Amino acid sequence: MLTIPPLETFGPRICVFGPSNAGKSTLTVALAAKTGARPVHLDQYRFLPDTDWQERPDDEFAQLHDEAIAGESWIIDGGYSSLLPGRLQRATGLLLLGDNRWSNLRRYFYRTLLQRNRAGNLAGNKDSIKWEMLRWIMVGGPQSLARYEAKLPAIGLPFHYARSMHEVNRLYETWGLPRP
């Protein structure tokens, strides 16, 4: 049986990692509601609001990221490896979410085509199916997950890996997190 550490183990600044459509943003909102920490969705900083995922300039993105991690408590979701070192220096706990690429792909279609009000969505809610995203889910996401699985535990911070949506749901139950 999966042992889940107490939520308090992870401290006031938690990074949530995982492939696209693994439930990071939804978990971030639930953790923030439970702990009173600020939820931070890095996609909302990387991409401009009221666009169909148009990137913000790198320097603006880095500034928004650095301002967010300067806070005393936050739950932050997303990878963005170029900014990861600073985030890991401030983090007090790490969560990794994983699921199979087919489930992630199904959730991508659902959220893009049917789910208008979801955690982590861009303001203006302009979204469409993109070939680049399909490729990322099928190829890049699993590769990224493997890198996180190898790297994150070695950092030395409290760490937990939920390997499936079933295990993510166990986090909600064990920690008494509100459901969206």
Going across the sheet that includes 159-162, the strands are 38-41, 74-77, 13-17, 93-97, 159-162
**75 strand-pairing partners:** 14, 39
| Average pLDDT score over residue span 75-96 | 96
| Average pLDDT score over residue span 133-157 | 91
Type of residue found at 63 = Q
3-state secondary structure of 40: strand
Type of residue found at 45 = Y
| Phi, psi angles (nearest 5°) of residue 39 | -80, 135
3-state secondary structure of 77: strand
| Average pLDDT score over residue span 50-74 | 94
CB contact at 8 A, 27 and 33: no
For residue 56, pLDDT beyond 80:
yes
For residue 153, pLDDT beyond 70:
yes
DSSP state of 55: B
Residue 168's pLDDT band, with cuts at 50, 70 and 90, is: very high
